Chains A and B, each alone.
Chain A
């Protein structure tokens, strides 16, 4: 423990280890042979009835199509010697497209021809992963299938994706390690506005899965009215993020069900960040940049990690596949351990606990609910925690909650005043306030009065419990629970000691 920490009595400082600083990587002994292939190797998506179901929500589809533009334009600027225009002219150009999104998908290679001349092999990795992104969305938005069918198809999609050599690993990967090279962070530091756009649409690309997963197709579009507004007004222009948005942070329900897909998206986004940083290096030659991009690809390829398993691996190395407890769909982050991690904008979190009452989330059964507000999504144990957490947050919110019917997900959207609308008419709430460790028992939601009665009749301690309408339930508020435990640790992304001191004094 440092003398400074002793003086301040900050015991948590003792648990911190220095951030990983890796040397400039060297080419591995053998790179995958396909990196040298001269063919374009264009791949078509899996033929299926759900393809282009994304167009069922035109605003969402257009926003997603527009995301193809940003990286391509920035990469093109970087390889054509126009890096000095990135924060001005290029930013304006990308932003204009994001504000006026196209109606059809865009071929990134066509708007970054010079980049593709140099890094065509990288484009293969990006294209194939983006195909997985879009087809997963299409499956979730397909109106003709049950949730069970959709989940089985996403498993098949993952197998289809993984069959190609360009596939990115579905293992959780240590993000601290992947972001620890001499070039790491250069792009976000030197081009914060453009990087903000990138991370902004990575937010959109990751937040949408919980908007869609197990949500009836008719209930998907209303959520995008809120999410799309947040995306355009705030998320695209944030320059205060410590790290890129992680899929499990934005879509925890989807991430728990499909950890491999989720990890592949995060590894893809990390590859984007690595490439941004490499291309933004003024002191690297073209040849050195080519080598570093190949190494960055190698790090995240599935073939590099063949035979390795989630939860295993030497900490803070390339083969560290540990994950925070309860969240197999996310690799370890800067400063994190199995029980806690730092989430930008939210502070230190334990993803195995309810974000509102800090009671451990149940391992099985209904998962409770998630609350999405202010750009974040948190998992909570019960409806009371969901409501009260949303009430603590300014602005609109979305609650997605399990009901007694596992095939009927409750989606509630609030307005600015906290008035809720529900996708299920006649929902009934149970809220017999008691001990928080049992809150998932006495605070629940049911699709009908009869379902409420059946549940209450089975639990003796709930005898006489009142059935609450949405209106009655909305008016309740128990504030922050006594059990809530805030993890008071400094932001691990801020390495400057004075910031640590300042944060500590504020607590």
Chain B
């Protein structure tokens, strides 16, 4: 099948209005919207994704649309519609593209219990996955974006999908969500990186999405082996410091960062323990991206 970018812009717009069906890692998505910002977002950031046929099973049917006629004119809003219902309150119309990304995160995190889903960025080099769990503000997405711009493969900037079947990590390479100062930091770090529009005034501040590298999207059917579990913390002006973390403490922190750990019960516990046993675990403080990348590249070369 063709990729999104192989189509003329007018046809992409037409497809999105009627339901654009595309492959996203191990999921099939059908997106419907007539909102211009959503169409532009897809054209700019989803060009490399493979279109799928009418006959393919769709995991997530999502739609972004205006709630009512009145709300199209007075403080316009946008609704996220998923498999027949509205899981969220509407957001300002200008946040439609970001709402698509957040809504899709929610769809995957809440409906994919054949994976243990850890709130963590995950990148791969030399076949080995480096997992970066982190609370908002820890700098995991910034670090992930910088690694990806330096040649690492993006598996996800937001959720690590640990397969309950084979213990490997399955990619879901999506645009990397960057907030506030991180947008400028990565634009300076990698001037060639493609970004979507900057959406201001969200609950998280200003947001922009960086395009996933084409190669990461093309390799999105290839899982990676968990190798390092690293809890990052961005601290301004700090030295780069990688400190070993006990596996027990790492397991507890990873469980706290997992979306569906409690849903999976003892199976999630056992699968997470398996992953921890095969990973080296660290805490990581940083302020300079170049030093961080050099350190992780050396670490992946050691293996």
Instruction: Tell me, yes or no, whether A binds B.
Output: no
B residues with a Cβ closer than 8 A to A are: none
